[in-house]
Amino acid sequence: MTFEDHEAIVELLAGHALHALDEEEAARAEDLLASHVPSCPQCSATLEGFRSVAGDLGLMAGSRRPSRLLGLRIRRMTSSRKLAVWLGRSVGIAAALLVGAVLLWNLHLSGRVNRAEERQARTTEVLNTVSHPESRIVPFSAERSELESGAMTAAFLPGRHFLYVFGSLPDPAPGRVYQVWLSREGRFRTAGTFLPEAGLVLLRLTVNPAIYDGVLITEEPASGSKEPSDRRIVTAAF
């Protein structure tokens, strides 16, 4: 990647940190956040720096006393988070059994190697997402007869820039990988490739789910593909 390429990326990241990109550029930024940034220490550090500046800019608005009523509303809600409540939902239980039992985090997107110590935190993250009252839980439909529908699930929280994909898949054919695609108005963009671990999958995609209309998983050559092949495995529509 050239210096000019990096400058263009950093320019986009500055607008992203300020939440000042239009929809199309925001989608490009999301692409970069999922693909390039995690594997580029320079861009990663730049983004963190910009985010920090953006947070500090908020101080310039000055402090303003919130109403007592707002404080009461906010404090009241802290009495409502009980384990029994958020594990009470059936999807939450299913997910807890699945990911809690194996502590699996087999994300190989963009060649990023995840550290074992991240797994526990990420598992908690998925559990919190699927059990959140506002979460969207979308089961995948199987595109192959040998797979069961519902074996894979996508979950996200509106307003959050993470999409979780989890469930079970058999190993792909030798020399091949699974590839995740995000769809938008009939067009696909890759979110990376992965292999199940002991038949289980748990992925976190750093994207804004609101700007996509679905997810597709295909089987592709080990190097991944630029466009989804016709070897479709599962699909989910938001």
Partner 1 sequence: MPTPRPEDARDADLHRRLVLGDRQAFEELYRRYSGAAFGLAHRVTGHELLAQEVVHDSYLALWRAPEAFDPARGPFRTFFLSLVHHRAVDTVRREERLRRRTERMNPGPVADEDVAEGIVEESWLADRRVRVRSALENLPAEQRQVLDMAYFRGRTQAQIAAELGVPLGTVKTRTLTAMRKLQRMLAEEDHE
Contact footprint for partner 1 (CB under 8 A): 10-11, 14-15, 17-22, 25, 48-71, 73-75, 77-79, 81, 121, 124-125, 128-129, 132, 157, 159-160
Q: Count other C-beta atoms under 10 Å from residue 51's C-beta.
A: 14
Residue with Cβ nearer partner 1 (81 or 226) = 81
Residue with Cβ nearer partner 1 (65 or 187) = 65
CB of 58 to partner 1, least distance (A): 3
CB of 51 to partner 1, least distance (A): 6
Residue with Cβ nearer partner 1 (57 or 97) = 57
Residue carrying structure tokens 């009980």 = 82
CB of 152 to partner 1, least distance (A): 23
Strand partners, 155: 137, 164
CB of 133 to partner 1, least distance (A): 8
> Which structure tokens are listed for 183?
């769809």
CB of 165 to partner 1, least distance (A): 18
Output the CA–CA distances (angstroms, integers) from residue 108 to 142, 191, 206, in the order listed: 22, 10, 13
Residue with Cβ nearer partner 1 (69 or 116) = 69
180-196 burial, b for 16+ CB within 10 Å, e for fewer?
bbbbeeeebbbbbbbeb
CB of 74 to partner 1, least distance (A): 5
Phi and psi dihedrals of 221, rounded to 5? -60, 160
Output the CA–CA distances (angstroms, integers) from residue 49 to 43, 79, 112, in the order listed: 10, 35, 21
Residue with Cβ nearer partner 1 (19 or 226) = 19
Do the Cβ atoms of 163 and 179 come closer than 8 Å? no
Residue with Cβ nearer partner 1 (120 or 229) = 120
Residue with Cβ nearer partner 1 (1 or 20) = 20
Element (H, E) at 191: strand 187-194
C-alpha span between 189 and 215 (Å, rounded): 10
C-alpha span between 119 and 212 (Å, rounded): 26
CB of 181 to partner 1, least distance (A): 26
